[in-house]
Structure 1
Amino acid sequence: MDFTVSPQTEQFRTEVREVIRTHFTDDERHAVAQSGTKHSWPLHRGLAAAGMLGAAWPVSEGGQNRSPHEMDALYEEAARAGVPMAGFSTTMLVAETIRRVGTSEQRARVLPRVVAGEILIALGYSEPGVGSDVAAVQTRADRREDGTWVINGEKAFTTTAEEADYVFVLARTDQKATRHRGLSLFLVPTSSEGFAVSAMQTLGGERSNMTFFSDVVVDETALVGDVDTGWQTMLVALDFERGGEFAAEMKRMMDLVSTWATGEGNAVSSNTLRRIGRAATETAVAGLLGSRATSLRAEGRAANLEGTMAKLYATEALQRHSSQLLDALGTSGAARGNAVESAIEGMYRHAFVTTIYGGTSEVLRGVIAERRLGMPRTPRATA
């Protein structure tokens, strides 16, 4: 693995930093914090204008043919600036899936609007009572004689659905099939009759949503991938959801803690220094795990397992050390005494949901144990 940072990556990092500085102003930061919506339209359109949406795609598809290392720099700069990237991330995840398994009509209809920064796509996987066990979804899609589909069900934690143009919905299309079979994915317009959104406020101060599908009718062009192969299609998407992006959040945490520790009037005990040292060490490890996944992707190789390892390690370390470092701040941290202390306290609350994104830690441990270590599948508990 080559640890040398290319001049192209550093130049791209500088360009990303400038776009963020220009479009994610203090006023916009405040507006996003007040709304709880994890998306900034001014920044999203600024990234689009700079060609950074779909920047890893070929020029022929509206991209800049950027390397995975350069895209890592984008995520790292966004994380270190505290930029809300949920809308960006879910939209690009679905767009990457459409690039690979979508029809030519879907690619022509959706991808240019993604690159132009015109649309957002939210994920409709989780459901009440299901959580990360998405193979147990109850939302159903029934095919009618005219070829259209009728979707009924509920989804939980449909983040940015209040701003999105589509929800990428996982639904059961064969009611008799086993858990991982009989599932299909649909790109459902949020303008559809029978679609509704209800806000959910979270511990991290972020707005998520419950979404409801009541006899929502879509035609064949909404089906992404083949019928009853939704689980395999979703695995394509997950390959882009697990990687080194959470190591960037750990680096932001270390930036904040360093600012606090060197601030005037802050007495840093030897115990706190030990906590900072442990956090710095695990931040470096998280970065290396993420870099390994990125390097494999840069070589055109699959990195799902390496990305899974990187995501698991970084999110658990983030949760552990944000708690330890908030504790080191004492009462001023809990009271959010200043901007830095408020940011650290907010990161602590946000850290909990990171161990759920892209599959819970328990699910990811199972993936690693089975697919990398060759261990037998854990039997499902029965009532």
Structure 2
Amino acid sequence: MLAAAASGDPEALRSAAREWIERNVPAEWLAAALAGDMDRLHAVRSPEAYREWYPPLGRSGLTVPTWPVEYGGLGLSRSQSGVVAAELRRARLTTLNVVGIGLVAPTLLQYGSEYQKQTLLGPIVDNTAKWCQLFSEPGAGSDLAGLSTKAERVDADTWRIDGQKVWSSFAHEADYGILLARTDPSLPKHQGITVFAFPMRHESVTVRPLRKISGDHEFNEVFINDAVVDDRLRIGEQGQGWEIARAVLAFERAMLSGAGSGLRERTSGSSIQTLVTAAKAAGAVDDPVMADEVVRLYVENQVVQLTNARARSLGREGAAPGQLKVLASEHNQRLQAALLDLTGAVVYDPEDASAARRAFGFLRSRGDTIGGGTSEVQRNNVAERVLGLPKDPFSDNTIPWRDIKRGPTA
């Protein structure tokens, strides 16, 4: 029904999406969502219950409407997909497996083999195979191309991988990671890198949590010791890794630029609607200073959402991912801080679940300008790639990676 509606007008598509939602979403979840009662929704729909119910939503194609039909999508255009997205937002149906959907799947669609598309995309979309990103390393810092995790061929069909990754979101619950490894140390650091779909449920993999100020451990460090990986899980050509990595990072920035727009409240904190509701309840309209702050943030949030929508519709001609990421992450920090200022001491009430969520959102937002590329790095990207300003000079871009000095020097 949904695929058939894709060739019709927007209203037919909206009607088909809404009909699927009304037929499949538990009635008490949908009633709370449509009423805009987030406290009630959180009470009746636990994260565990949502994850258990979620696979049919993924298999419906609604969460990936622009994917080709043969890989589980609806084959919609960007403009048509906006109709579906609006219905999902209306019912508060958020996408799970955000790394898989937002980073890995677009990469597989662009660079993956037919085997990878057929075997990996389905479990991504229905959340039966969760993914993490295995890029950052302790010794590379912001210089991602300096990575030292190595992959060596065992034979024509297999690789052996050794190394350490850090700041890997959701690695503790992931089935696969999209991994960068150095396959030719004789080449300069931006060359000789290859990408793998790396199985995480492996005895050679150790995952250790990195607990954040918000108390959870979304981040992890990952140790890989002599893991043998099938060559069919190599994404793209050997040595094509830096090109693919840049594409993945662009997808990541586009994904993270939705922060603060009410799209992913698990990681972004409370939405602008929550701030407006709290402001009304607190009588902020009678306080010109607070009213001005709420209105300013509301307008700013509209700018974030409209800029993201425009970027999606224009594709490569839209705003650069780095611009979107800086705009959204800094806005979300201001939004979460304003909500905390408005609600004040109630965040210390252990019996108030909504207050705990506001506190978590504020603490979690402190990392928005770091994760996915710091604002400083993003501004460099915008300066160099959008404005055409001169690049910072690097002294090690042309020498073999194995000859680059690493570690402390005398």
TM range (shorter): 0.7 to 0.9
Q: In structure 1, what is the equivalent of residue 43 of structure 2?
A: 26
CA displacement, residues 8-61 of structure 1 (integer Å, 9 cap, x when unaligned) = 6755775697649369863653659xxxxxxx5325314224333433212233
After TM superposition, the structure 1 stretch with the greater mean CA deviation from structure 2, 7-16 or 323-332, is 7-16
Name the TM-score, length of structure 2 as normaliser.
0.77
2:56 matches 1:42: no
Q: In structure 2, what is the equivalent of residue 210 of structure 1?
A: 221
- In the alignment, is the contact (CA less than 8 A) between 1:72 and 1:245 conserved in 2? no
- In the alignment, is the contact (CA less than 8 A) between 1:256 and 1:343 conserved in 2? no
Q: In structure 2, what is the equivalent of residue 57 of structure 1?
A: 67
The structural deviation recorded for 1:293 is 0.6
CA displacement, residues 298-321 of structure 1 (integer Å, 9 cap, x when unaligned) = xxxx25753332221011111123
Q: Identify if the C-alpha distance between structure 1 residues 175 and 77 changes in structure 2 by more than 3 Å, giving closer, same or farther.
A: farther
Q: Percent identity?
A: 29
Q: In structure 2, what is the equivalent of residue 37 of structure 1?
A: none
The structural deviation recorded for 1:381 is 9.5
Q: In structure 2, what is the equivalent of residue 229 of structure 1?
A: 240
Q: For the residues of structure 2 that align with 1:81 and 1:207, how far apart are their CA atoms?
A: 28
Q: In structure 2, what is the equivalent of residue 112 of structure 1?
A: 122
Query: What is the SS of the residue equivalent to 2:173?
Result: coil
CA displacement, residues 113-151 of structure 1 (integer Å, 9 cap, x when unaligned) = 334443122111122254443222221112234552111
Q: For the residues of structure 1 that align with 2:51 and 2:236, how far apart are their CA atoms?
A: 29
After TM superposition, the structure 1 stretch with the greater mean CA deviation from structure 2, 218-227 or 152-161, is 152-161
Query: What is the SS of the residue equivalent to 1:141?
Result: strand
- In the alignment, is the contact (CA less than 8 A) between 1:322 and 1:348 conserved in 2? yes
Q: Identify if the C-alpha distance between structure 1 residues 198 and 104 changes in structure 2 by more than 3 Å, giving closer, same or farther.
A: same
What are the within-5 Å matches in structure 2 for residues 231-310 of structure 1?
231-243=242-254, 246-247=257-258, 249-251=260-262, 252-263=270-281, 269-297=287-315, 302=316, 305-310=319-324
Q: In structure 1, what is the equivalent of residue 391 of structure 2?
A: 377
Q: In structure 2, what is the equivalent of residue 330 of structure 1?
A: 344
Q: Identify if the C-alpha distance between structure 1 residues 196 and 68 changes in structure 2 by more than 3 Å, giving closer, same or farther.
A: farther
Q: In structure 2, what is the equivalent of residue 366 of structure 1?
A: 380
5+ residue gaps, structure 1: 33-39
Q: For the residues of structure 2 that align with 1:354 and 1:60, how far apart are their CA atoms?
A: 35
Q: Identify if the C-alpha distance between structure 1 residues 286 and 92 changes in structure 2 by more than 3 Å, giving closer, same or farther.
A: closer
The structural deviation recorded for 1:212 is 1.3
- In the alignment, is the contact (CA less than 8 A) between 2:101 and 2:125 conserved in 1? no
The structural deviation recorded for 1:339 is 4.1
The structural deviation recorded for 1:173 is 1.4
CA displacement, residues 304-342 of structure 1 (integer Å, 9 cap, x when unaligned) = 753332221011111123223322332224557734433
The match for 1:148 among 138, 144, 158 is 158
Name the TM-score, length of structure 1 as normaliser.
0.82
2:324 matches 1:314: no
After TM superposition, the structure 1 stretch with the greater mean CA deviation from structure 2, 346-355 or 244-253, is 244-253
Who wins on radius of gyration, i.e. which is larger? 2
Count of residues in correspondence between the two structures: 368
What are the within-5 Å matches in structure 2 for residues 25-174 of structure 1?
26=43, 29=46, 41-69=51-79, 71=81, 85=95, 87-174=97-184
Query: What is the SS of the residue equivalent to 2:172?
Result: coil
- In the alignment, is the contact (CA less than 8 A) between 2:272 and 2:335 conserved in 1? no
Q: Identify if the C-alpha distance between structure 1 residues 86 and 380 changes in structure 2 by more than 3 Å, giving closer, same or farther.
A: farther
Q: Identify if the C-alpha distance between structure 1 residues 95 and 377 changes in structure 2 by more than 3 Å, giving closer, same or farther.
A: same
Query: What is the SS of the residue equivalent to 2:208?
Result: strand
**Structure 1 counterpart of 2:133, one-letter code:** L
5+ residue gaps, structure 2: 1-8, 34-40, 263-269, 397-408
Q: In structure 2, what is the equivalent of residue 342 of structure 1?
A: 356
